[in-house]
Chain A
């Protein structure tokens, strides 16, 4: 216990748009921390929440927590239920050790469509998830809303992200599940538990120990716009250019070292032509959950 009493609290910032379930995620986390005998403070601003505005909730836990809000730049884990909201709060995260978990779902506000001139572009955050992830270091961008839709209810995307968050915190999974049961409506318990597991699987499948042993370190994973991921094992790529030439969307290229890379993730459709044609098995296309596409 000695180390926890002197160490600073853990800071989790959960952000999204009104109505997405930011408060539910933070309440589950806070209740779990309390169950573990930790001091926890959860702070939110509502009032504008129902008006489609930006919503955020600070959860801080540890042996001793003073400030109810996270000091700027000290967020350990940033959970974004909406893509652009994640970008808005990126500076709140620790530079060196922060983890970014974001739904790639876009909720485009009316103001982004204000320009009506011919050829106008939407004012929505222009950068691709892949470009952002490359910057932030430890990051997960999953299409949680699509995963939730696959389970038959887009409203449980927040639970998918809760599952992803659970892998980044040292609480046993049973605790998460029992708290989650208490916080969701009784008739949705089963589907919420599935969503929670899907979020966990998505993160964990990306770093399965067996896979790591089989594939050398240095696999470069790029997230494509439609939620799937392209994994290129650099140690196996010899730069033959086949995938680059054969890609129907022309979204691959050879980098300055002559190795294949996904240059235009937004255009990648996940058709798997590159995977099929690579003579060295260096390219894999994984689905939104990090599983090889069946």
Chain B
């Protein structure tokens, strides 16, 4: 362990840090700060781990400085930013990697149009799939869209690159992508801050040949893209954002983004070319670097985006021959690769400690209203198309009642397809959360009605975007800044889509839930149940009277344990070798679901007097 010597300059160092305005920030907070410093006027996005905190941070800056908003989905968010750019101000859209798939249609035209006010798209990748459905590499998207892709490696660069991205966008008439990863977005380190400079608005620039993408105009724009690509690459041949760190000439490492930190950790002496931009590449700089060293390695997470380009340019380099194409990098992953390449001696690995831990998969919270929806669904023996949200956890024990989950809003159309295939005797159900329904669930619901599919759609309305930590949406009646606004009424919305059988049920009313689900499934055609209860965590943490098990009456049937509620556990007493149930009073929020499920009526509220 490091011994920290007493620095005589400690007090002075603190003073300097304060004067220079240095603050510990996460990568996401630094990106928001960089956008604010660059004078962004309009920012929009849709929540998605690990990108969510970018807009939440921006919303804490004064309302006079910028408009920040949650949009219905990522495509809408990008279109809002494009509109602001048309209108002549700097604009930003933020999203997670799979969000860019939703926004891709707008992006592919935007790249032809270019920008008026600078436009930056922040995309946060999730290598290792901590909280996503895949680990696609945004850098390949940038190549497809021919949009420059900046890759900061720490929070300080996140701020600086974001600030630089707006100027770059305006200079080269292009949207610019800032590509973050989970590790960068959620790592906090000290960042030196700058001040905000707002460029004057450029106003709307009337230029239909640039702003209206009809075939004649688009054909004229395409060659401009290729020219832009070459200009950008040339610009970055001599740019201080790229860093050539001269070291041991035997080994040269070309890297960008978070992997840079792992390279410095594992091979502190190597020569390093740290690229700021992973597309387009400054190939002459790379060629000079490669010629100055012995073996050249490309260290990049996920796809060989840089390596493929370099090798296509005829430069000898090794990358994915040693480094994995899947998963998140870490110091040990990078070390193992350099060991395979013969650069480092293999280190002996100690045998694991002979200890046994406990698996701890994520679970639905005590009192989660989704719990009862899936208990009732399970009783129907149905085929269930799931969707994306906390409720995807109903896939695993003990609820185990979701059969498929594809992408945001997929559930309803997946159910339509299953019903049209005609192979299932079971009732076909789609389950979708409120935020996900607004994001991408309305067009498939219209499709189901239009094509007269025999399905039941259950909208799990918990009045919040819960999975990402409790963000507002059009169905909550509040904006990102917490102001009141028009609240979308799901029942009216569903009826307007042409659904004839609609019912709203309280998710805590066990009898009504079972009855309504049975009736909905019996209806021939599209039926919709809105299972309605607010999330127990957001926007307010809900706590009701705590319940307890009357042990003398408990028969240890453990029916209540089917709920999978984290507040329910085993008591020490048993009946015929089975444990009676104990309720953890610290965790119980008084939802009553276990009490309603108990066949021997032994779960009762703890009276305040007792």
* B-binding residues in A (CB < 8 A): 1, 3-4, 7-10, 17-18, 27, 30-31, 34-48, 50-54, 61-62, 65-73, 76-77, 84-85, 87-88, 90-91, 95, 97, 108-114, 116-120, 122-127, 132, 135-136, 154, 170-171
Contact = CB atoms under 8 A, between A and B. Distances in A.
Given A17-B360, A45-B182, A45-B186, 19 more contacts: A4-B4, A4-B5, A36-B4, A41-B154, A42-B189, A43-B188, A44-B186, A47-B50, A50-B469, A52-B363, A53-B361, A65-B189, A67-B261, A87-B356, A88-B358, A109-B363, A113-B568, A120-B577, A127-B355
A125 B356 contact: yes
Contacts of B566: 52, 109-110
B600 interface: no
B353 A135 contact: yes
Contact of A51 (B5, B362, B568): B362
Contacts, number: 208
| Size category of the binding interface on chain B | 35 or more
B345 interface: no
B416 interface: no
B295 to A, nearest CB: 21
A38 B131 contact: no
B362 A53 contact: yes
Nearest to B466: A50
Nearest to B361: A111
29 contacts: A3-B5, A4-B3, A4-B5, A10-B2, A37-B13, A39-B190, A40-B189, A41-B189, A43-B186, A43-B188, A44-B187, A47-B468, A51-B364, A53-B360, A53-B363, A71-B335, A72-B330, A73-B350, A84-B360, A91-B353, A109-B360, A111-B360, A113-B579, A116-B561, A116-B578, A118-B576, A126-B356, A154-B586, A170-B3
Given A47-B468, A118-B578, A123 B5 contact: no
A53 to B, nearest CB: 4
Contacts of A68: 154, 183-184, 187, 189, 258, 261
Contacts of B390: 51
Contacts of A124: 358
B577 A118 contact: yes
Contacts of B569: 108, 110, 113
B587 to A, nearest CB: 9
B340 interface: no
Interface in B240-297: 258, 261-262, 264-265, 268
A52 B258 CA distance: 28
Contact of A9 (B2, B3, B578): B2
A65 to B, nearest CB: 8
B515 interface: no
The 5 closest A-B pairs by CB, nearest first: A118-B577, A51-B362, A47-B131, A37-B13, A53-B362
Given A10-B1, A50-B365, A118-B578, A84 B358 contact: yes
A97 B335 CA distance: 22
Contact of A7 (B2, B182, B362, B558): B2
Interface of B: 1-5, 7, 9-10, 13-14, 17, 24, 49-50, 130-131, 154, 182-184, 186-190, 258, 261-262, 264-265, 268, 330-332, 335, 349-350, 352-365, 390, 393, 397-398, 467-469, 537, 558, 561, 564-566, 568-570, 576-579, 586
Contacts of A73: 349-350
B188 A41 contact: yes
B366 to A, nearest CB: 9
Contacts of B154: 41, 68
A42 B187 contact: yes
A27 B26 CA distance: 11
Nearest to A4: B5
A62 B2 contact: yes
Nearest to A99: B1
Contacts of A62: 2
Given A17-B360, A71-B330, A110 B365 contact: no
B356 A127 contact: yes
A87 B182 CA distance: 25
Contacts of A40: 24, 189-190
Given A7-B2, A53-B361, A84-B360, A71 B331 contact: yes
B189 A47 contact: no
A7 B352 CA distance: 27
A122 to B, nearest CB: 6
Nearest to B578: A118
B58 to A, nearest CB: 19
Contacts of B537: 50
B135 to A, nearest CB: 14
